Amino acid sequence: MSKKKEIDDRFKKFGTKSFTSVTKVNDFIDNLENGKVMATRCKDCGIVFFPPRADCYKCLSSNVEWHEVSGEGKLVTYSKLKYAPVGFEDDLPYCIALLDYGDFKIFGRIASNVPEEEIELGMEMRTKANKLPNGQLNYVFEKA
């Protein structure tokens, strides 16, 4: 007799190629489906984590709460990719970038509808939940 296992694999919906499952922070995907990009915040020391973490490495607390990534971040750096990791080739060319939200930074990609000539270091951008043509979810940076 085999016992049916319940596998929490919601992270499979994330990204062009699915991420490994990260069970403790799978609500991230439910939020993404609802258009929200979430970080986590340690209730004990206030540090914000993105990608979301279930445990605080600073004070070793597991007392974390969801924290919506909202408002604008500053573009710190970006890079146009001509070669992509396996599974991302069909998306080329695209720009990966780092946004600085003050308390935390987010690494991701710039939305394909942002013309490259309009991308400038220091510009204000927003992080937006995004649905890929194949039904997978991710988030992209758009002009604020």
Determine, following the binding rule CB under 5 A, whether residue 39 of this chain makes contact with Zn ion: no
Q: For tokens 């069970």, what's the residue? A: 23
Task: Give the residue, chosen from 19, 24, 36, 44, that forms a contact with Zn ion under the rule CB under 5 A.
Answer: 44
Which 92-121 residues touch Zn ion, going by CB under 5 A?
A: none
3-state secondary structure of 135: coil
- Closer of 26 and 40 to Zn ion (Cβ): 40
- Closer of 10 and 67 to Zn ion (Cβ): 67
Identify the helix (H) or strand (E) that includes residue 126: strand 124-131
Which 55-84 residues touch Zn ion, going by CB under 5 A?
A: 56, 58-59, 61
Least distance in angstroms from the C-beta of 25 to Zn ion: 15
CB atoms within 10 A of CB 82: 8
Least distance in angstroms from the C-beta of 104 to Zn ion: 13
Check: CB of residue 59 under 8 Å from CB of residue 52. Answer: no
Least distance in angstroms from the C-beta of 46 to Zn ion: 7
Least distance in angstroms from the C-beta of 67 to Zn ion: 13
Check: CB of residue 127 under 8 Å from CB of residue 99. Answer: yes
Q: Is 101 exposed, middle or buried (0-12, 13-18, 19+ CB in 10 A)?
A: middle
State the Cα–Cα distance between residues 47 and 32, nearest whole angstrom: 21
Task: Give the residue, chosen from 23, 33, 45, 112, that forms a contact with Zn ion under the rule CB under 5 A.
Answer: 45
- Closer of 67 and 126 to Zn ion (Cβ): 67
Which residues of the shown chain bind Zn ion in the complex (CB under 5 A)?
42, 44-45, 56, 58-59, 61
